[in-house]
C-alpha cells in the first residue's frame, strides 16, 4: 500500500534506480482540464541533478511521457500514466561492495524487510524515486492553479549552520528562488551557502538544511478533522521524502515557548471574509485551512552518501572501512525544493476534491 | 475518510464533546489475544483531566466498555467497539457566545467547511475526541506487547521555556514519568515547570511544550518504503493530535546542522544482529526500522482556551473583546503523554500487521 | 478491512450475535441534512424477525440510538455512531453442541480462519449483523432521497419454486410490498408462497428465494468505469448479504441467450434527455447509470438452520446426527427485503458523493 | 478510485483504447518469487483477438514489459509496472460518427459523467482495458501457484442457447479448454457453438454466453466475514468485466428452488481434514473458503457492437439509423476466459495476503 498516496487524487509510483523506468499513475484528475507534458517537464527540470558548480556535472535528461488520460491537451477524467525511462537500466555488478550496508542508508533495513535488495543503487530508496512524485505533483499543481488559483513556493532556508533571515511569504516567487544556485532567495545568505557547499565538496563531506514552503490562496475549509488534519497530511507527505527528519507548521517548535495570550491569532475583517492579524497557526486551525497562507518547514539531514572513509561493519559483522567512489553531490536540499512543492500539491489537491464531496450538489 | 486511521489495524472514531458518547471501532485485531477493559482503562485514567494542583478540579470518570470482538477475555478477530458515554450530553445554549469564533480554535474553520458547527464545546475538534484514540491505542499497545514485546514510553520534555536535560531513553519507564504531576521525569525540571504552570494559571494564561517518546524492541523491517515510511506515519499520527505544531525524528532540525561524516550512524555488531553505535537516525533508515530504539519529539502549542480577555471580531466582522468564563487548564501537554503513546502504538501495530504480509506464508 | 464498506460514504459495522451490542459508524454523511432516529427505526422494524404466521413468534425490539454526528435533528458532517443493544448478551453454554460444525453454516470456516469462534450463535456470521447494515442504509437512503429524490423498492419475486409474474417496476411501492406477509406484491403468488412456507415449517425444513429490486430517479453519470462499475458494486453489496448465491442486473443470465440485435437498448428522446426504449441494460451502461431505472435480482439459498435431523461429522471427523432444537423461521427472504434496499442505498450514496468530486466546483 | 482493485495486492490500471499505452501497476507482490515476462505473456496471448475462423483476422501483438519490481528473474517486494504499447495510438477522426451514442455502449454514460469522452474507440470502456487485468492477473496466479499450489481454470459453458453438459470440475484443465476454438471443452457442444457463431457472423449479429470457472486447492480460511466475503469479492471482480450481466456461486439461482434439507452440504472426513459430500456452497461458507473447489458462473451479454443497422437517436435526440462499418467479432465470450481467470486470481491472492495478517507471527 506504501506506493500509493492520497485518498481522492491518488498517485501510485513505481521504479527502482536501475529498473527500466520510473513513473506514476495518477487517478482522480478531474476531466476537462488543459494539460501537456510541458506542464510537467518544467518541474522535472528543476529537480534534475547536476545543475550547479557544487553539483556533480551529470547530464541526465528526464523526459516524461503522458501515456494515458489526456487527449488533445485535455484531461479525460481517466488515470494518467506518467513514465520516464532510466538511461542505464542494467543493474551493475556491485557484488564486491553489496556485502557492506552503507551507514544511514536503507540497504540494511530493506534486506531485513524483504530478504532481498536491488543489486545496485538504492532501489526504491533512491532519490530517483522522487522523479515520479514531481511528475504527479506537477499535475496536482495544475489542478490547484486551474480550478482554485492556489500558488505554492518553496525555498532553501538553511544549509548546515547558515540560515536565511525572514523571507516575505506573501511576495516570494519561484523566479526569485531559482535566481540562486542554492535556491535560497536571500543573496548574501546564498553566497555564504555556496561557500560552505564548496568546502564540504572538497572534504568529500555533505550538508543538510531546511526547506520552507508557503501555499497561498487556499480557501477556508480544506482539510479534514481528526486524523487527516491538513497539517498531519502535509507532515506525512514531507516526512515521506527521503532524508527528512522534521516538520513544523506555523510557529512550530519555537511556538511552544509562547504563552497562549501571545500565540493566539486575533481575528480581523479582511475585505468580506475573516482573516487573522498574525499567522502563528500557519493557515490551519483545527486541521482545516482558514484562508491565510499555509506555511511550513522541512528538515533534511546531510546526505549519507559521502566519499569520506567510514568505519562500519559488513553484513557478517566484520569491521571494515567503507570508502565509496565516484563524485557525489555535497547536498540535496536545493533539489528537494520542487519535491516539497509537489508533495504539498498532492496533499492540497486531494483535500480540494474531498471538500467537493462536502459542499457539492 | 478522516475519521479512520491505519490501513491494516484500522481505528474509526466518533463523537462530539457533547454528543451522547464518544468511542471507536477497531478492526484488524488478531484473534486469540487476551484483552480486558482494564487493559484500556489504565491509559484512559492517565489521560483524564483534573489530576493535579494546577489543573481544574474536575471529577470526570471516563469508563470504557468493550461492546464486541472479545469473548471470555479473548479477542475473536472481529471488530472491537469501544464506548464511553458523555456525562453531560445536552448541548448547552451557548447562543449568546457562538457568534464569536474563538481565536486559534476550530470554530471558524468548521463553520467554513461544513456550514454548521456543534452548538457547544469543540465538537469533533474538542480534546475529548482523544479519548477514543487512547482507548484504541491501548489495544494496539497490547498487540505490540503480547506478540512483539514492544515498549512505548512518552514524557514531557519542555513546558514553555523550561526544558529537561537529556533523559536516558533505554531506561525510562511510565512509572518514572508518572511520579511527577508534570510528567517530566527529571525532578528539578519538573519542580520548575510546576512553578511556571501555577504562574500561568494565576494570569489566566496557558503554556505549550514538547513531548518526547521512545519505542523499544521494534524488530528491524517494520515500515514501508516511499509514502508510508515509519517516520512519515508517526509524523502523520502525531500531527493529527489537537494543538500540535511540529514533529522531529532522531536528530531532527538540529541534525540538519551536522555534516554527513558526523551524522551517519556507524554499524556495529550487537549480539548476533547489526546495530548502530549512535542513533541519529532515530531507529529508522529509509523509512524502515533498523532495530534501534525509535525516538521522536512532538511540539504542542499553548492551549488557545484562555480566560484572559482577547481582542477579536465576531462572524460579522464587528470588533469585540472575548472573555471566556470558567476555569481552564493552563496546559495540556502532560495529558497528551498517553495520547502520543497511543498514536505511536496504532502506527506500529499497523506496520507489524503489514510486515506479516511480506514474510508470512 | 472486511468490516468497512464504501469509499466515500463509509460504514463500519461491529457486533456478534451475543456481544453487548451491534452497530455501525457511518462516515461521510453530508452536513445540514435533517435526520432522526425515526428515519432509521422504520427500516429496522421491517427487518425485525417474528412478524408473520409462518415466522417464529419472537418479540425482539431493536431500538436504535444515534450517539453522534447529529444535533437538533441536523447532521453535522461528522461520523454517526448507530447502536442497538443485544437483549440477551451472555454467550450461552453451548459446549455440548459446539463440537459439531453446522452444515452449510460458517462455524467450520470461522474456526479455520481465526482458530476461535464466538461460543454461541453465529457471531459475526449471524443474520443479526444485518441490523447494522439496515441502520446505516436508512441514513444512506435519506441522503439519496433528500439530495437526489432517488427511490428504492425491493420485493420477494420467488420462494422455492413459486415465482411471481412480472411486476411493474415503475409503479411498485413499499406499501404494496408490505401489504403481504411474504413481501411478494402479487396477491395470488403471495398466497401460494404462504402455503409452501407453512408446509416447509411443518416439515422442519426451509426455503430460499429471489429478491428483486428497482432504484428510480438515479441521474445519468453515477458509477465508476473499470473496477467500480455500478453493477459490480451492487453485486459486491448484495453478495455480501448472508445466504446469497447469485446476482443479476438487467437481463441477467437469460439475456445471454439473446443476439445483440435484439438485446441492445435503442436510444430515444424522453423529454429533454436521452433514454432507452427497452431497459435490458438495467439502467447501467459501461458501469455508469444512464438515467433509466436500475433493476437487479438477488438469489438467497434456503436458510441452513433446520430442525430436520442431519447426517454430518464433528470437528474430529466422527459421524453424528445433528438435530438442532428451537423453532426456526422456514425462510428469511422476506426479511432480506430491507437489507437489499439498504445495501443498494449504501452503494448509490457512495457513488453520488464520488460524482460530486468529478463535477464539483 | 475506480482504477484500483484489491486491498493488499493492489492493481491500478490505466490506458484508453487509443492512448499511447495500456498497463498496470501491481503493488504488494511478495519478494523472492520467480517471475518473468513469459509468465505473463502466455495469458495475454490467450486473450488476444483474432485467433479463430469466426473472429476477425486481426494480427495484433500485445507484448508486455515489466518495467520495475523484478530483478534477475526475482521479485523485490516493490511495485511491478506492466506496460503494453498501443499499436495505433492516434485517435482517429471519428467526428462524423461521434455525435451518435452507440446503443448499449458506454458512449452516452461517459459523456454524462465526464462531459467528455475519448474521441475514438471505447476509451477506458473498451475491451482493450482488460489487457492490463490479464497482465496483473497472471502475476497474481503466479503468487497463488508458487506459494499455495492454487489452480484456476475457466471455460465457456454456453453461447446463445447452446449449453454444455456438466463438466467435471476436478479434472478440467486449460489444455482441454484451449483444444477448441470456442473454449468449450465438450467437443459436440463446441461444434454446435461454432455453427451458431458463423451464422451470427453472417447476419452481422452477435451472441452472448456464460463462462464457468473453478478454483482448486484453496485452503480453508480465506475470505473475510461481512462485507468482503469471498463470494462478494468474486462477484465484484467478475461484474467489473465489460459486458457482464450476472454472477452465481455454487448452486446459484437454481439453488434457491431447493429446500434446506436438500441444499445443505453434509460434512465428511476427507483425509485429515473435514470436507463436504456435495458442494452446493461452491467452496464458500459464511464468506470464507472451506477447502472444497470454488466454482462460479459469469453471464456475458451479446457484444453490442454489431454491423446490423440500428434505429436510435443522436445526442440531440434526432432519429437516425446507425450502421457501423468494419468486421466485428460475433462473440467475446471465449476471449473472456483468461479475463475471468485473472480477476479470480487477483481476488484470491489478495485474500491470501489478508490471511497472512490473521495467522502471521
The string of pLDDT tens digits covering residues C60-75 is 678 999 999 999 999 9
Q: Provide the grid cell at B298.
A: 512532538
Q: Does A91 touch chain C (CB under 8 A)?
A: no
Does A8 contact D at CB distance below 8 Å? yes
Q: Given A200, A232, A242, which is nearest B239 (Cβ)?
A: A232
From the list D12, D65, D114, the residue facing A76 with the nearest CB is D114
For residue range A124-140, list pLDDT tens digits in order.
Answer: 998 899 999 999 999 99
A353 interface with C at CB cutoff 8 Å: yes
**Chain A residue numbers touching D126 (CB-CB < 8 A):** none
> What is the C-alpha to C-alpha distance for residues C47 and C131, in angstroms, rounded to an integer?
8
Nearest CA in chain C to B70: C19
The pLDDT assigned to B324 comes to 78
Which helix or strand (DSSP H or E) is residue B26 part of?
strand B21-27
Summary mean pLDDT of chain C = 92
pLDDT band, very low/low/confident/very high, at B323 (cuts 50, 70, 90): confident
Query: Mean pLDDT over all residues of chain D?
Result: 92
The Cα–Cα gap between C109 and C99 comes to: 13
Q: What is the phi/psi pair of residue A231, to 5°?
A: -65, -35
CATH topology of domain D4-359: Chorismate synthase, AroC fold (3.60.150)
- What is the rounded CA–CA span in Å between residue B336 and residue A273? 34
Q: Are residues A246 and B244, on separate chains, in Cβ contact within 8 Å? A: no
- Residue from the list C20, C76, C80 with its beta carbon closest to the beta carbon of B123: C76
Does residue C287 sit at the B interface (CB-CB below 8 Å)?
Answer: no
CB-based contact B358 D30, cutoff 8 Å: yes
Q: pTM score, two decimals?
A: 0.97
- Mean pLDDT confidence for A190-215: 96
pLDDT, position C307: 86
- Cα-based distances in Å from C134 to B21, C67, C128: 21, 16, 10
Which residue does chain B place closest to C20, by CA atoms?
A: B67
Residue reference for cell 428497482: C214
Q: What is the pLDDT of residue B206?
A: 96
DSSP letters of B285-320?
Answer: ETTEE-SSPEEEEEEEPPPS--SS-EEEE-TT--EE
pLDDT at D291: 97
Q: What letter would DSSP give residue A226?
A: G
Contact A357 C31 (CB under 8 A): no
Q: Which three cell numbers stand for residue D291?
A: 477447502
At B348-357, the pLDDT tens digits run: 999 999 999 9
- Cα(B216)–Cα(B263) distance, rounded to whole angstroms? 22
CB atoms closer than 10 angstroms to residue B77 = 24
Q: Which pLDDT does position B307 carry in this prediction?
A: 86
Whether pLDDT at C57 is above 60: no
- Give contacts of B227 with chain A, Cβ < 8 Å: 2-5, 13, 236, 240
Instruction: Please list, in sequence order, all residues whose beta carbon lies within 8 angstroms of the beta carbon of residue B115, skipping any fewer than 6 positions away.
Output: A359, C31, C32
Query: Nearest CA to CA, how far is C358 from chain A (Å)?
Result: 6
- How distant is the alpha carbon of residue A152 from its chain centre? 12
pLDDT at A49: 78
How far apart CA C229 and CA C219 sit, in angstroms, is 15
Tell me which residues of chain B, numbers 248 to 267, contact chain C at a CB-CB cutoff of 8 Å: none
ipTM over 0.90: yes
The neighbours of chain A, by the rule of 3 or more Cβ pairs under 8 Å, are: B, C, D
* B1: confidence class by pLDDT, cuts 50, 70, 90: low
Average pLDDT score over chain B: 92
Mean pLDDT of C300-320: 93
Q: How many CB atoms lie within 10 A of CB A200?
A: 23
**How far away is chain D from the Cα of C72, in angstroms, using its nearest Cα?**
32
> Which spans in A71-128 are helix H?
107-114
Q: Taking residues C165-169, what's their average pLDDT?
A: 96
Burial class (CB in 10 A: 0-12, 13-18, 19+), A228: buried
Nearest CA in chain C to D108: C290
Sign of CA dihedral A192, A196, A202, A208: negative
Q: A326 pLDDT exceeds 70?
A: no
Query: What cell was used for B288?
Result: 524502515
Torsion angles phi and psi, residue D220, rounded to 5: -65, 140
Contact status of B276 with chain A (Cβ, < 8 Å): yes
Count contacts between C and D (CB, < 8 Å): 378
pLDDT attached to residue D327: 64
Surface of D (305-344) touching C: CB under 8 A: 305-306, 308, 310-313, 315, 317
- CA-to-CA distance for D50 and D59, rounded, in angstroms? 7
User: How confident is the model at residue A327, as a pLDDT?
Assistant: 65
Contact across the interface for D15 and A68, Cβ inside 8 Å: yes
Q: Do C30 and A225 touch (CB under 8 A)?
A: no
Residue C96 pLDDT level (bands cut at 50, 70, 90): very low
- Chain A: nearest CA to B308, how far in angstroms? 7
Q: What is the pLDDT of residue D95?
A: 47
- Which grid coordinates are listed for D222? 480465506
Helix boundaries (H) for C125-211: 130-148, 174-178, 187-202
Is D280 touching C (CB cutoff 8 A)? yes
- Kindly state whether A296 is in contact with chain B, defined as any CB-CB distance less than 8 angstroms: no
Do the Cβ atoms of D77 and A114 come within 8 Å?
yes
Predicted confidence at residue B327, as pLDDT, reads 64
* Yes or no, beta carbons of B71 and C2 under 8 Å apart: no
Whether C13 contacts chain B with CB within 8 A: yes
Residue B269, number of CB atoms within 10 A of its CB: 14
Q: Closest Cα partner for B183 from B239, B175, B298, B199?
A: B175
Domain ranges of chain A: 4-359
User: Does C206 contact chain B (CB < 8 Å)?
Assistant: no
Please answer whether residues D297 and D319 qualify as being in contact, where contact means their C-beta atoms are separated by less than 8 angstroms.
no
d(CA B154, CA B173) in angstroms, rounded, equals 9
- Is it the case that residue A220 has pLDDT exceeding 60? yes
What is the reported pLDDT for B336? 97
Q: What are residue D203's phi and psi, to 5 degrees?
A: -85, 10
C-alpha C200/C-alpha C194 separation (Å) is 10
A158 — contact with chain B (CB < 8 Å)?
yes
User: For residue A252, which residues of chain B lie inside 8 Å, CB to CB?
Assistant: 245-246, 299
The x, y and z cell numbers of residue D75, run together, are 521479485
Q: What share of chain A has pLDDT > 70, as a percent?
A: 93
pLDDT per residue as tens digits for the range A38-61? 999 999 999 987 667 676 655 567
The per-residue pLDDT for D96 is 45
CB atoms within 10 A of CB D149: 11
For residue A238, what are the CA distances in angstroms to A17, A25, A232?
Answer: 21, 20, 10
C-alpha cell at D162: 447452446
Measured in degrees and rounded to the nearest 5, phi and psi for residue D143 equal -60, -45
Each residue of C312-338: pLDDT tens digit? Answer: 999 999 999 998 776 678 999 999 999
Strands A10-14 and D273-276: unpaired
> Mean pLDDT across the stretch A10-26?
96
Low-confidence ranges of chain D (pLDDT < 70): 1, 50-51, 53, 55-60, 88-97, 120, 326-327, 361
Calpha distance D281→D279 (Å, rounded): 5
Amino acid at each position: 500500500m506504501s506506493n500509493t498516496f492520497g485518498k481522492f487524487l491518488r498517485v501510485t509510483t513505481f521504479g527502482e534506480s536501475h529498473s527500466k523506468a520510473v513513473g506514476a499513475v495518477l487517478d482522480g484528475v478531474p476531466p476537462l482540464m488543459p494539460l501537456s507534458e510541458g506542464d510537467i517537464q518544467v518541474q522535472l527540470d528543476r529537480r534534475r541533478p547536476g545543475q550547479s558548480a557544487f553539483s556533480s556535472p551529470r547530464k541526465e535528461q528526464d523526459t516524461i511521457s503522458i501515456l494515458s488520460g489526456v487527449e488533445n491537451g485535455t484531461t479525460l477524467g481517466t488515470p494518467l500514466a506518467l513514465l520516464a525511462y532510466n538511461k542505464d537500466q542494467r543493474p551493475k555488478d556491485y557484488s564486491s561492495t553489496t556485502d557492506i550496508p552503507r551507514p544511514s542508508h536503507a540497504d540494511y533495513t530493506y534486506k531485513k524487510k524483504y530478504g532481498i535488495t536491488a543489486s545496485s543503487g538504492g532501489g526504491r530508496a533512491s532519490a530517483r524515486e522522487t522523479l515520479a512524485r514531481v511528475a504527479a505533483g506537477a499535475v496536482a499543481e495544475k489542478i490547484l492553479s486551474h480550478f482554485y488559483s492556489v500558488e505554492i513556493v518553496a525555498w532553501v532556508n538553511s544549509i548546515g549552520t547558515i540560515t536565511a533571515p525572514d523571507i516575505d511569504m506573501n511576495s516570494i516567487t519561484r523566479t526569485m528562488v531559482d535566481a540562486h544556485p542554492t535556491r535560497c532567495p536571500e543573496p548574501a545568505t546564498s553566497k555564504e551557502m555556496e561557500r560552505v557547499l564548496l568546502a564540504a565538496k572538497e572534504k568529500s563531506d555533505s550538508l543538510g538544511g531546511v526547506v520552507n514552503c508557503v501555499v497561498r490562496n487556499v480557501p477556508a475549509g480544506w482539510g479534514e478533522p481528526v486524523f487527516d488534519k491538513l497539517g498531519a497530511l502535509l507532515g506525512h507527505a514531507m516526512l515521506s521524502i527521503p532524508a527528512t527528519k522534521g516538520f513544523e507548521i506555523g510557529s512550530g517548535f519555537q511556538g511552544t515557548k509562547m504563552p497562549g495570550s501571545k500565540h493566539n491569532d486575533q481575528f480581523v475583517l479582511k475585505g468580506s471574509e475573516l482573516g487573522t492579524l498574525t499567522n502563528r497557526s500557519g493557515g490551519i486551525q483545527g486541521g482545516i485551512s482558514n484562508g491565510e497562507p499555509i506555511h511550513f518547514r522541512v528538515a533534511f539531514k546531510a546526505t549519507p552518501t559521502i566519499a569520506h572513509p567510514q568505519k562500519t561493519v559488513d553484513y557478517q559483522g566484520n569491521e571494515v572501512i567503507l570508502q565509496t567512489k565516484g563524485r557525489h553531490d555535497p547536498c540535496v536540499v536545493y533539489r528537494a525544493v520542487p519535491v516539497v512543492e509537489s508533495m504539498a500539491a498532492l496533499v492540497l489537491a486531494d483535500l480540494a476534491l474531498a471538500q467537493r464531496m462536502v459542499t457539492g450538489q
